Amino acid sequence: MAEFVIKPRIRGFICTTSHPDGCAANVKEQLQIAWAARNTKPDTYRVLVIGSSTGYGLASRIAAASLYDADTIGVFYERVGEGKKSGTPGYYNTAAFHAYAKNKGLTSININGDAFSHEVKQQTIDQIKAHMEQVDLVIYSLASPRRIDPDTGEEYRSDIRSIGDVYVGKTIDLNKEFITEVSVEPATEEGIRETVAVMGGDDLNLWTDALLNAGVLAEGARVVPFSYIGPEVTYPIYRNGTIGRAKEHLEATTAAIHLRLQSKIEGAAYISVNKAVITQASAAIPVVPLYISLLYKIMKESNVHEAPINQMVRLLTDHIGPGQTPALDEKGRIRLDDREMVNAIQNEIDRLWPTVNTDNFRSLSDYDAYKKGFRQLFGFEVDGIDYDKPVELETEV
């Protein structure tokens, strides 16, 4: 097969290329971090990750396999490399993880398709029955801007806006790299409805019912979707906006699922509220890139910074892994954002926020690290990679 030199094509929060060797190096680094935290492991541990190819979903799959030699099944929707056109980073991430699992003799099943569809749910169930019988843990980490209702065929699109009032806030223009004021008109009722339909709990509910009815959730199985709360500075566009309305729906749905699992299989469902991290999705939300840039600098200086893999290792070893009892807040949620939301960290962000401008944002924040971290999501600017060397783009999983 032909090999090609791949360079980043980035504008703002969009990158249209990815580098397979850089993605593989990212996965290898995460595997090493999780492997270093290994302790005792169960005889068997079987994990389904819905949304497994990037971010927290990928990290949870890596952590489960590294910590416990877990057999895993990953569901994702990624583009395969073809000819001169690179695949999406999630595809190369999955290929690298699969190679690791195969080398370790672990079961690694990969389903590339629309996780919102009934067909992919049934395909997943069939694979679980054929190769694992049941699963002990379900991680739900889907991040998509659109969803097609599998029953009605209606297409929903998320609309990231405030609710009630025009939102005016400070953010980084990622194209021109300066601080600017952004104004966002409030969401319509239709925009709220569609955002909840995409990012709320409806699909998680369908997955849980399908898995329960098929008998593929083991006794005591746990279902864990991810959420985020964030600081007050982001509330208007996040927690009090359309995203927040969807997260509230997800959390209410999870509470109902928890009761259902308890009664049927003595299982449980918990929301895991995770730390803010660099993702392509978060880069598109006003305020968030600037907030993360400030947050990373402060957390690193306080020696409490965590990447997604550190968070997922902590999630498993402290809360939901084999034999673990999760520590919950007053609303029954796991709070992996505890180090982000500590008063000392947030007070410093509140102090700096009014003073940040185009002249000082690079010195006050960790924006250059944010910028590098964004490129690394796509396999670029990864240490040790020769980006002038041609690479094969049609990697197979």
Q: How many CB atoms lie within 10 A of CB 386?
A: 9
**Domains: count for the chain:** 1
Domain assignment present for 32: yes
Q: What is the CATH number of the domain that holds 118?
A: 3.40.50.720
Domain assignment present for 299: no
Which DSSP string corresponds to 87-123?
--HHHHHHHHHHHHHHHTT--EEEEES-TTSHHHHHH
Question: Which residues have a catalytic role annotated?
Answer: 238
* Of 212, 223, 313, nearest in space to 264 by CA: 212
Would the pTM of this model clear 0.85, i.e. be above it? yes
SS3 300: helix
Domain assignment present for 397: no
* Amino acid letter for position 39: N
Reported as a single tens digit per residue, the pLDDT across 359-396 is: 999 999 999 999 999 999 999 999 999 999 999 998 87
Q: Which whole number is the average pLDDT over 120-133?
A: 98
SS3 148: strand
Domain assignment present for 280: yes
pLDDT > 90: what percent of the chain?
A: 88
Strands 178-184 and 108-112: unpaired
pLDDT exceeds cutoff 90 at 174: no
Q: What pLDDT score was predicted for residue 17?
A: 96
Domain assignment present for 295: no
What is the C-alpha to C-alpha distance for residues 14 and 86, in angstroms, rounded to an integer? 15
Domain assignment present for 320: yes
Q: What pLDDT score was predicted for residue 113?
A: 97
* Banded pLDDT at 13 (limits 50, 70, 90): confident
Average pLDDT value over all residues in the chain: 95
pLDDT higher at 394 or 214:
214
Domain assignment present for 253: yes
| Domain enclosing residue 218, as ranges | 3-163+190-287+304-341+378-392
Give φ, ψ of 104 to 5 degrees: -90, 0
Domain assignment present for 356: no
What is the C-alpha to C-alpha distance for residues 347 and 147, in angstroms, rounded to an integer? 38
CA 201, 282, 192: angle at the middle one, nearest 5? 45
* Of 7, 8, 25, 58, nearest in space to 371 by CA: 8
C-alpha pair distances (Å), 180 with each of 46, 168, 177: 47, 10, 9
Q: What pLDDT score was predicted for residue 1?
A: 61
Reported as a single tens digit per residue, the pLDDT across 285-340 is: 889 999 999 999 999 999 999 999 999 999 999 999 999 999 999 999 999 999 99
